[in-house]
Structure 1
């Protein structure tokens, strides 16, 4: 049995809005939207990976708040764990630095206006329920 590799996704929330990031790479994912994040390195805590990935991908200083219940399969051996997160006071505004070419803050009523990556849809549904948004 292959050991699972955890990928952390950030549900970055600010004033009730969720940050979505549009992929620019790899080609098969380009143009679709996701929760930013990345792989947890060996020996790294998921919360620390989330902070590191958000710094690398978006140039921000964020803090994890809580894990969203559930895990979602990605292509084997990866599984997605999602954490809510917020910008730390004094953090720069998010900007697409790596693997993304656009960012959008989505209010709960607009969560479904972007074409999410298939593997992120169940996590976004869970977030929508938490934000009091309509399901899809």
Structure 2
């Protein structure tokens, strides 16, 4: 069984909105809105992976030292296991750009997302960004999201 290690970056503007891109040219979630993020490469740090993926997907430059770790969501769904690590950036350089990996870019309030987002995204944003929880698990599908309070 393969284990996926994924780093995601939540870019939040001064109005509290998060940047999402409509995924294109990707194997996972094509056509759905999602955060910039992807697989951590061998020898790469989590924050560096989130920053690299953000540059590749939406063309923004972010300093990894300025990221805030929000939490991790472990999943074991239909034979796919992994851990998603979420970071927050409130400062970056550049303007979001379309790339081969995203066909649209837009800002959304985290509690008012469009209906066609990655299915786990609303629960994860609610847990890690809005409630400040550090750990969540998905063992039985999206409806099975379990959240653990911070210490």
Q: Report the TM range for the smaller structure's normalisation.
A: 0.7 to 0.9
Structure (1 or 2) with the greater helix fraction: 1
- 8 Å Cα contact 2:8/2:36 also seen in 1: yes
1:28 Cα deviation after fit: 6.7
- 1:122 equivalent to 2:126? Answer no
TM-score norm. by structure 1 comes to 0.77
**RMSD of aligned C-alpha atoms?**
2.4
Gaps in structure 2 of 5+ consecutive residues: 133-151
Pairing 1:58-97 to 2, within 5 Å after superposition:
58-64=58-64, 65-73=67-75, 76-88=80-92, 91-97=93-99
Higher relative CO (CA 8 A, sep ≥ 6), structure 1 or 2?
A: 1
The structure 1 segments of at least 4 consecutive aligned residues displaced by more than 4 Å after TM superposition are none
Q: 1:61 & 1:28 partners in 2: Cα distance?
A: 24
In structure 1, C-alpha distance between the alignment counterparts of 2:3 and 2:110, rounded to whole Å: 32
Gaps of 5+ in 1: 131-136
Corresponding residue number in structure 1 for 2:114: 113
With the length of structure 2 as denominator, give the TM-score of the two structures. Answer: 0.70
Q: Alignment length, in residue pairs?
A: 126
